[in-house]
Amino acid sequence: MSGKIVSIHSFRGGTGKSNIAANLAAMAALEGKRVAVMDTDMASPGIHVIFGMGREKMKYTLNDYLRGSCDITDTCLDLTDRLKIKKGKLYLIPSSMSATDITRILREGYEVGDLKKGFTDVIKGKDLDYLIIDTHPGLDRETLLSMATAHYLFVVARIDEQDLLGTAATLSVARKLQVPEIRIIINKKPSIYEDKAIISEVETKFKAKVVTIIPLLPLLIEVGSRFVVTLRYPESEFTKNIQDILRFMH
Instruction: Quote the radius of gyration of the chain (alpha carbons, Å).
Output: 17
In a domain, 8, yes or no: yes
In a domain, 107, yes or no: yes
Q: What is the CATH number of the domain that holds 25?
A: 3.40.50.300
Q: Which domain holds residue 104?
A: 4-245
In a domain, 56, yes or no: yes
In a domain, 229, yes or no: yes
pLDDT digits (tens, 9 = 90+) for 120-168: 999 999 999 999 999 988 898 888 888 999 999 999 999 988 888 999 9
Contact by Cβ (8 Å): 122, 72: yes
In a domain, 250, yes or no: no
pLDDT digits (tens, 9 = 90+) for 65-112: 999 999 999 999 999 999 999 999 999 999 998 899 999 988 988 888
Please state whether the predicted TM-score (pTM) of the whole model is above 0.75.
yes
Count of CB atoms situated within 10 Å of the CB of 191: 7
Q: Distance between CA atoms of 113 and 136, rounded to whole angstroms?
A: 17
Q: Distance between CA atoms of 99 and 96, rounded to whole angstroms?
A: 8
The total domain count for the chain is 1
Question: In whole angstroms, how far apart are CA 1 and each of 44, 49, 74, 147?
Answer: 30, 30, 20, 17
In a domain, 80, yes or no: yes
In a domain, 213, yes or no: yes
In a domain, 124, yes or no: yes
